[in-house]
Amino acid sequence: MKKIISLFLCITLISSLLVGCGSIDSENGDTTNATTGSDQSETKTNMSDQEPVEIRIGFWPAEDRENELVEFEEYKKICEEKYPYITVIPDYYKYDESTFLPMALAGETPTVFSTWFTEPKKLIEGGYVADITEIIQETGYDKKINPGFLEITSKEGRLYGLPYSGYGLGLLMNMNLFREAGLVDSEGMPLYPKTYDELVKTAEIITEKTGKAGMYIATNSNVGGWHFTNLAWNFGAEFEVLEDGKWMSNIDSPEVIESLKFIRSLKYDSNVLLPDALLAWGEWVQNYGTDNVGMVLAAVDAINNPVQQYSMNKDAIAIAPMPEGPGGQYALTGGNIYMFSADATPEQIDACLKFMEITGFSPNISEELKTSWDNTYSTKAENGEVVGPTSIPVWIDEDRVKAENEIIEKYTNVDMKLFNDYFEVTPNILKPEEPVFTQELYATLDDVIQATLASPDSDIEGIVKAADEKFQKDYLDTLN
């Protein structure tokens, strides 16, 4: 009897363990119990000839974005009414390089998700995203998207993603500090720096008049390297060069040395930087959002971060184009892309495109789309977010861009004069990131910046020489 009871207990334990593991549908990567609307889809199948399709939307708003959630629930309803064979499953996923790989390996990637311009190369090479060439050719989207952006999501003539917003780095200004420092004209517009000499003077005035840091120079978590490449390009630097088919590091160059001397002088001669040695993304949002920094390199896509996280007054935000340096004027390109799970079937991708069209992602103009744009921007305005400054247009068709802009204008809640120069200049000075081992280059440059800023007498020549050799040996030589 004892044995039988033991056996029963053991079997229960083992079976509960196996049940806990669950099963994964290899076809679409969904866990079988994840579907809440499966009953509905079955009913709908009877109404349609189409095979039922389930799509998991990864760019669903987060739980705390109440107004957007209501809006997306509405999109889901419209989509499922219009296409009864589609079941939309909300699956909020904020792209993060440290969580993506394990998720992809577990077959848990949402059918469609949003990521950044820096990621496609890695995701395509890893085989984590679907090839969408044929399906996009059928829709004709490929002919209607800015080819420069489309190139970022392509490899060897095949297309893997759809860019939906693009931007270039600019000079973000805190108008509270600009006003306090008297750096505004008679109309209240910022007297922003157009050259690097002017940038030093502006930062000095801010620090002198307000006691706050005039300029933010990032130093850590690859953000330092990312910002610095853009700054150094304007001094004429080029970090990676292709010589006779071989990639060569060019960190050890007079232009890079000049740029480093510039940021060291900001710290020790002008005293306009924050005292911290480790400054990355979160720190700029915090210091800028709490009026502790006058200027920072950032793009227009990030202007809502200080508003949402630190309740910054949206009227205190302004952005100017990157200042012109002795080597030219460039703005590093960035942006966001929709990509599809490698497990997604063509039917699922098609269904995702249909859902995305309802949310407003489409090259076309229709009354339905206009309603959708209207919803999007009115919700943003209700949330107290900045509405008005948009990304660099993804779609080529000017009428399409104009139609959306008309709706944006309706809800614009900031003075666009604070943004106009950025939008006028930036699209003409865009420059893509350095082509190979980009993140590794940024990490190397973080060290270079930290070492440079460590002391007023730092041996910049020695620092760049060592970094150049290390980057060449550890990374570029592996390609040659």
Partner 1 sequence: MKDLKKGALISFKQNFTSWLFIIPSIILFSFFIWHPLLSGIRYSFFKMNGFKMIEFVGFDNYINVLSSSDFYNALNNTFSYAFWSIIIGYFAPIIIAIFLNELVHFKGVFRLGVYFPNIVPGLAAYLMWKMLMAPGEGGVFNTIIGWFGLGPFMWIQDPRYSIPLIIMTMTWKAFGGAVLIYMASLQSVDQNLYEAVAIDGGGIWTKIRHITIPKIMPLAKMMLILQFINVFKVMQEPLIMTDGGPLNSSMSLLLLTYKYAFKYNKIDMAATVGSLVGILLFVISFIYMKVTKNKEA
Question: Which one of residues 27, 276, 409, 459 is an interface residue with partner 1 (CB under 8 A)?
Answer: 276
CA distance 388 to 277: 35
What is the residue-wise DSSP string for 121-135?
HHHHHTT-B---HHH
Q: Is the separation of the CB atoms in 317 and 417 below 8 Å?
A: no
Q: Which is nearer to partner 1, 14 or 416 (CB)?
A: 14
Nearer to partner 1, 234 or 444 (CB): 444
For residues 10 and 416, which CB has a smaller minimum distance to partner 1 in the complex?
Answer: 10
With contacts defined by CB under 8 A, name the span among 144-152, 238-246, 308-316, 443-451 that binds partner 1.
Answer: 443-451
Whole-number Cα distances in Å, 255 to 187, 193, 262, 301, 461:
38, 21, 11, 29, 11
Q: Residue 443 interacts with partner 1 (CB under 8 A)?
A: yes
97: CB partners within 8 A, 6+ apart: 119
| 131 binds partner 1, rule: CB under 8 A | no
- Select 240 or 421, whichever has its Cβ closest to partner 1: 240
For position 446 contacting partner 1 by CB under 8 A, the verdict is yes
Using CB under 8 A, pick the residue from 28, 153, 219, 390 that binds partner 1.
219
Residue 102's CB is within 10 A of a number of other CB atoms, namely 9
Asked if 324 touches partner 1 (CB under 8 A), the answer is no
Residue 165 interacting with partner 1 (CB under 8 A): no
* 278 forms part of the interface with partner 1 (CB under 8 A): yes
Q: Note whether 97 binds partner 1 by CB under 8 A.
A: yes
Pick the binder of partner 1 from 36, 81, 127, 435 (CB under 8 A): 127
Told to check if 98 binds partner 1 by CB under 8 A, we report: yes
User: Within 211-316, where are the H helices?
Assistant: 223-233, 254-268, 281-289, 304-310
Q: Is 241 in the site for partner 1 (CB under 8 A)?
A: no
Contact criterion met (CB below 8 Å) for 295 and 268: no
Binding to partner 1 (CB under 8 A) within 354-373 occurs at none
| Two tokens, residue 157 | 């003539």
Binding flag, residue 24, partner 1 (CB under 8 A): no
Number of residues that bind partner 1 (CB under 8 A): 39
**Nearest Cα to 390, choosing from 407, 373, 375, 408?**
408
Binding of residue 22 to partner 1 (CB under 8 A): no
Question: Which residue carries 């090839």 as its tokens?
Answer: 131
Which C-beta is closer to partner 1: that of 176 or that of 220? 220
Binding of partner 1 at residue 31 (CB under 8 A)?
no
Q: Which is nearer to partner 1, 17 or 47 (CB)?
A: 17
What angle do the packed helices 460-474 and 254-268 form, to 10 degrees? 130
Beta carbons of 71 and 125 less than 8 angstroms apart? no
Establish if 271 lies at the interface with partner 1 (CB under 8 A). Answer: no
Round to whole Å and give the CA distance between 46 and 85.
9
Contacting residue, 454, 455, 459, 462, with partner 1 by CB under 8 A: 454
Residue 105 found at the interface with partner 1 (CB under 8 A): yes
Of 26, 47, 49, 275, which one interacts with partner 1 (CB under 8 A)? 275
- Residue 480 is a binding residue for partner 1 (CB under 8 A): no
17 binding partner 1? (CB under 8 A): yes
Half-sphere exposure of 360 (CA within 13 A, CB side): 20
CA angle 341, 345, 350 (to 5 degrees): 95
Segment holding 7, helix H or strand E = helix 2-21
238 binds partner 1 (CB under 8 A): no
Q: Does 479 bind partner 1 (CB under 8 A)?
A: no
State yes or no: residue 14 binds partner 1 (CB under 8 A). Answer: yes
Q: Does 391 bind partner 1 (CB under 8 A)?
A: no
| Angle at CA of residue 90, ends 87 and 95, nearest 5° | 130
Residue 290 contacts partner 1 per CB under 8 A: no
Altogether, the residues listed in the chain come to a count of 480
| Selected binder of partner 1 within 1, 3, 63, 157 (CB under 8 A) | 3
Q: How far is CA 221 from CA 100, 227, 277, 285, in A?
A: 18, 11, 12, 14
Asked if residue 422 lies in contact with residue 196, where contact means CB atoms within 8 angstroms, the answer is no
Give the nearer residue to partner 1 in terms of CB position, either 101 or 416: 101
- Alpha carbon dihedral 63, 65, 69, 72, in 10-degree steps, equals -120
Minimum separation from the CB atom of position 270 to partner 1 (A): 16
Residues that bind partner 1 (CB under 8 A): 3, 6-7, 9-10, 13-14, 17, 97-98, 101, 104-105, 122, 125-128, 219-222, 274-278, 280, 439-440, 443, 446-447, 450-451, 454, 470, 474, 478
